[in-house]
Each structure stands twice: as C-alpha cells, then as structure tokens.
Copies of this chain bind each other. A is one copy, B any other.
Amino acid sequence: MVQEKGMAVAERIYSIMENGDGRAGVAFQISITVLIILNILFVIIETEPSIHTLYGAHMEAFATVSLIIFAGEYILRLSLYRHKMGSRRFALIRFAVSPMMIVDLIVILPLLLPFFGVDTRLIRILRLLRLFSVFKLARMSDAMSEFAIVLRSRASDFALAFCIFFIVLILASSFMYYIERDAQPDVFYSIPASMWWGIVTLTTIGYGDTVPVTPIGKAIGAGVAILGIAVYAVPTGIIATSFNEYRRNKKGDRCPHCGKNIGFR
C-alpha cells in the first residue's frame, strides 16, 4: 500500500512536470521558463566587461544554483521514465537518449566536469552549454512542432534547393579562385577561401572583405549575384506553398452547410 501511494505521488509529479496540469503544473512551467530566460540573459550580459566586474560573482552563484535546480529536474524526470516509456525493455536507456533528455543532460554537464579534472580553459567554453537550455523550452511549445511539420513535408524540395545552392557555390568559387588569385593572392589564396566570398555573395550579405577586382572577376561576380536571387526566391516559394497547403488541409475540405467534400482548394 505504501508503494501504491508512492505510485500515486509519482503520477501526480509526472502530470505536473510533463503536462503542466493544475496550478502546480502552471507554476512549475513558468518557474522553469523564467529560470531558462534569466540564465540565457546572464550568459550574454556577463560577457560585457563592465557588468562582469560589478556583478560577475553574483551571476556565477546564480548560474551554479540554476544548474543544481536543472540537475534536480533532470534526475526527477529520469526517475519517472516508466510513465513515458511503459515497461518496454531498456526503457530507462531509451528514455535517457531521447532528444529532450540529452538536451537536459548537456545543460547540466558543466556541473559534472570539475570532478573529472578538466582544465579551466575548457570550462570557460562549457559555460556556453547553458545556452542550450533554450531548447528545453521546446517541451512547452506546441506551435514549434506544428511549424516543423510544415517544413518537413517539403524536406525533399529543400534538400534539392540546398544541393543546387551548393553546386552553384562550388563552381562560382572555383572559377573566381582561378581568376582572382593572381590579382589578390592573399584574399583568394585557395578555393575554400574563395568559398567565403561565394557564400557572402550568394546570400547577398556582401561584407565587402573579399571582392573581385579584375574585369573578368567582376563579370563572373555579377552573374553569381543575379543567381543569388534564386537562392532566396526558391525556398521562399516552397515555404509559401507549404503554408498555403497546410492551412487549407487544416481547415478541412468540407462545406460547413451541406457537409459535402468540396475538393482540394
């Protein structure tokens, strides 16, 4: 009977944490969300030297406390693996390697590493891992997954658009390298270096740090620039069509008055 009561408590904790049921669930979700946003904010502003000097120690303490809370949350979630995975074999391991649990683990990693004696330089970079806590928010968002469905339904179209982009990039960058390397040997010194120019041009960013100077180079650059328009037009066209289709299908294809199917509109 004690075990039964334990099960009931576990059930309740699970419904609070996973589904955000009841007042406790809402309070829990809001608290975690606020904690995540504060952590991300502090990772960003503590790099500002003037702020680091003044509040560095406080922020450090806040980070440690947060990670301990996240670690507690991780252990609690892990211990409730049966509610998610049922009694399948390797249920615990399967649950531990699910994307959301791995994100949770990555975030609390900096807490574990000092025990293994990692050098301080690495730890400094490991602080960045706290930024991954932003993905923890995905657990609470339905809209995100809906969005992902729309984009995934056209995955093959995007893959093709990406392949075409890559082929254009490689050809453009290689030609530019052979044409410009004599005029600017310290800018276009290799094809990978030339690909930096290619990406900056095809995406229309145009920093201006690598620019063709020879007449032939400029002529090819002009052609690449015009092709760059397609780089934007094609994915935009695909996305616009996907959204169009998705919303139509969602609204249903039946007349609300007579109930008959009115076809794909």
Contacts and interface: CB of A to CB of B under 8 A. Distances in A.
Interface stretch (A72-80, A103-111, A222-230): A222-230
Question: At the interface, is chain A mostly helix, strand, loop or mixed?
Answer: helix
Give the size range of A's interface with the partner: 35 or more
Q: How many copies of this protein are present in the complex?
A: 4
A244 interface: yes
A262 B264 contact: no
A86 interface: no
A58 to B, nearest CB: 18
Contact of A48 (B125, B190, B245): B190
Contacts of A248: 264-265
Contact of A205 (B47, B201, B209): B201
A184 interface: no
A43 B174 contact: yes
A131 interface: yes
A192 interface: yes
Interface in A103-127: 125
Contact of A218 (B40, B177, B196, B240): B196
Nearest to A254: B263
A247 interface: yes
Given A204-B204, A234-B239, 11 more contacts: A40-B170, A125-B178, A128-B174, A131-B170, A131-B174, A204-B205, A206-B206, A232-B236, A240-B240, A240-B241, A241-B247
